[in-house]
Amino acid sequence: MSQPANIVSKLPRVGTTIFTVMSALASEKGAVNLGQGFPDFDCDPALVDAVTHAMKTGLNQYPPMAGVPLLREAIAQKIRTLHGHAYDALSEITVTAGATQGILTSILCAVHAGDEVIVIEPAYDCYVPAIELAGGIPVFVQMTVSSDGYSVPWDKVSAAVTSKTRLIMVNTPHNPTGSILKKADVNALADIVRGTDILILSDEVYEHMVYDGQAHESLCRHPELAPRTFINSSFGKTYHVTGWKIGFVAAPAALTAEFRKVHQFNVFTVNTPVQYGIAEYMKNPAPYVELPAFYQRKRDLFRDGLKNTRFKLLPSDGTYFQCVEYGAISDLSEAEFSKWLTTEIGVAAIPVSAFYNTPKESGIVRFCFAKKDETLRLALDRLASL
């Protein structure tokens, strides 16, 4: 008999994600799923119509490797208008198969074996596997958490820098904490990398979800950081179409040239009609300009309801996530509390400990409020018993 093929895993510590586990449990128990971060409502029909029109008019063959020029121009124009930074659409904007591919490709093109990459925890779960696939070494710095929410200890980030540091990863607005980087944070980061060759990957997929009149401090706004930064963003998050898996990376021409060398061999390009449809839809800026107010209303509805429970609310300045402390309710671990909440109360959440390389217990779970009002109200009705 033939022997089974043997393969040595390149990601031996990677298993089933907590998102998959909690969504499966929510489905099994009939729970309201506020765990996984995607909307339960439809996108604008006009966007579907624009994509359908592109399909029907024959725009179904390979587009240029870097993306449809009309879409890249629309992206560059949006960034100029919102942030005042002029990217060249031809040489500095690349359309990606979602932000996850953009993040992976940014890391693969920049990080060599033995390079160190600073990761600020809690961190989204695709960061570390991408670093490991590139042969890099993740170096972890944990955010500080208090009653005022989460913040980055820039002194510890600075202390983590060595001669091997190649890349620093930042995420604003931040998943899972809902915090945002402010001008002082961006200036502190600039102080750290000044005079070095350190690159930055800025995950800005929730760029249009910043609340209470605050500004999204995109790193492309900073004249010292823009020349060394890969900006990653997501149309899926902005337009409520996470399943379409389309985003973009904006970076200086020299970085983009290296990015595209990898991009052309891991996806080559991104589906054509969706690119044309989004380019047409972007002619109207209202959907992304009005998005902060759209989600702030949902955030406020959800927070107001949670005030009737024993959860302690942490600030949610951005994203569509709300973190809460549950110490007044239970002394279970975050993972066990999330399972109990799903099974016994009928509302699924995600343990924030899952966003650390070595799980850290803080007594905090994350809810997603990117849901229909009736979904949020149903969840709040169930949580009222707490």
CATH number of residue 311's parent domain? 3.90.1150.10
Q: What is the pLDDT of residues 39-60, one digit of tens each?
A: 999 999 999 999 999 999 999 9
Same domain for 368 and 241? no
User: Which residues constitute the domain of residue 256?
Assistant: 51-284
Q: What pLDDT score was predicted for residue 298? A: 98
In a domain, 78, yes or no: yes
210 pLDDT higher than 80: yes
* Residue 313: other Cβ atoms inside 10 A: 15
Same domain for 268 and 307? no
15 band by pLDDT with thresholds 50, 70 and 90: confident
Q: What pLDDT score was predicted for residue 1? A: 61
Q: What is the pLDDT of residues 343-386, one digit of tens each?
A: 999 999 999 999 999 989 999 999 999 999 999 999 999 999 99
CATH of the domain at 174: 3.40.640.10
| Number of domains, the chain | 2
Q: What is the pLDDT of residues 94-122, one digit of tens each?
A: 999 999 999 999 999 999 999 999 999 99
Domain boundary among 284, 319, 337: 284
In a domain, 11, yes or no: no
303 pLDDT higher than 90: yes
Enter the tokens of residue 16.
């089933």
Same domain for 208 and 82? yes
74 vs 287: CA distance, rounded Å = 14
Please report which residue ranges of the chain form alpha helices under DSSP H.
18-29, 45-56, 69-83, 89-92, 98-110, 127-133, 154-160, 183-193, 235-238, 253-266, 272-281, 286-289, 291-306, 334-340, 373-383
158 band by pLDDT with thresholds 50, 70 and 90: very high
In a domain, 3, yes or no: no
Closest CA to 201 of 279, 130, 144: 130
Same domain for 241 and 110? yes
Closest CA to 60 of 367, 265, 255, 275: 275
Same domain for 377 and 363? yes
One-letter amino acid at 18 equals I
In a domain, 188, yes or no: yes
In a domain, 294, yes or no: yes
Same domain for 339 and 300? yes
Enter the tokens of residue 116.
């160190």
In a domain, 6, yes or no: no
In a domain, 110, yes or no: yes
38-73 as b/e: b if 16+ CB within 10 A: bbeeebeeebeebbeebeeeebeeebeebbbebbbe
Domain boundary among 236, 264, 284: 284
**Contact yes or no for 338/365 (Cβ under 8 A):** yes
Same domain for 132 and 80? yes
**Contact yes or no for 140/121 (Cβ under 8 A):** yes
Domain boundary among 239, 255, 284: 284
Same domain for 181 and 302? no
pTM to 2 decimals? 0.96
In a domain, 152, yes or no: yes
| ∠ CA 112-353-379, rounded to 5° | 125
- 83 beta partners: none
